[in-house]
Amino acid sequence: MHRSIFFLFVLVLLLPRLSFAQFTSSSSVLGVHIGVSNVARATVLGAKFEDGIAQAGPGVFGGSAKVDYYTWNAGGIIQTYFFVTASANYHITLGDSPAFDPFVGLGIGYLYETNKYPSSSSISTYDNAGSGFTVVASLGARYYLSPSVALRLEFGTSQVYAVGGFDFGF
């Protein structure tokens, strides 16, 4: 696993830039990611869609929707989480590095949690007491490998701490 991540990192550093790209008000991207959650550092799998909305000052406003899934098993209790967010993001345009796209985001998310208890416990139903709405904030960046493919790294303050993945523009 570590060897694969190292190989990918070296490949990205050595990959020549085929062309420049940057998030604009007419951009739309869809991507997949893997990351780390706030629950026992469980592995997160997810997807994100973002659409450019408007040029504003030295950057671009975008709107995004993201869904994340993760599960955790402790002593026979299986916790499963679906986290759906909607965010407004501000992308800072950097004239000297058009392949690099830093952004900050603020939005709202809904966490749906289920807890399945072992049959030997006195609890026989699912418990979703952890479900509900929460404010989300994020800080991230894309690095465009081509006009339609980018690497994304994003850090959050809510249920999902960090994700990394690929975004595809269309």
* Each residue's pLDDT tens digit, 56-114: 988 999 999 999 999 988 878 888 999 999 999 999 988 777 799 999 999 999 999 98
- The pTM of the full predicted model, rounded to 2 decimals, is 0.81
- pLDDT(119) > 90: no
Does residue 6 lie in a domain region? no
CATH number for the domain spanning 56: value is 2.40.160.20
Long-range Cβ contact pairs of 50-56 (< 8 A, separation 24 or more): 50/23, 50/89, 50/167, 51/27, 52/23, 52/24, 52/25, 52/26, 52/27, 52/28, 53/25, 54/25, 55/24, 55/25, 56/90
Overall domain count for the chain: 1
* pLDDT at residue 122, rounded to an integer: 65
Which structural domain, as residue segments, surrounds residue 103?
A: 27-169
What mean pLDDT is predicted for residues 137-149? 94
Q: Is residue 8 part of a domain?
A: no
Q: How confident is the model at residue 126 (pLDDT cuts 50, 70, 90)?
A: low
- Tell me how far apart the alpha carbons of residues 112 and 79 are, in angstroms, rounded to a whole number: 10
CB 169 within 8 A of CB 28: yes
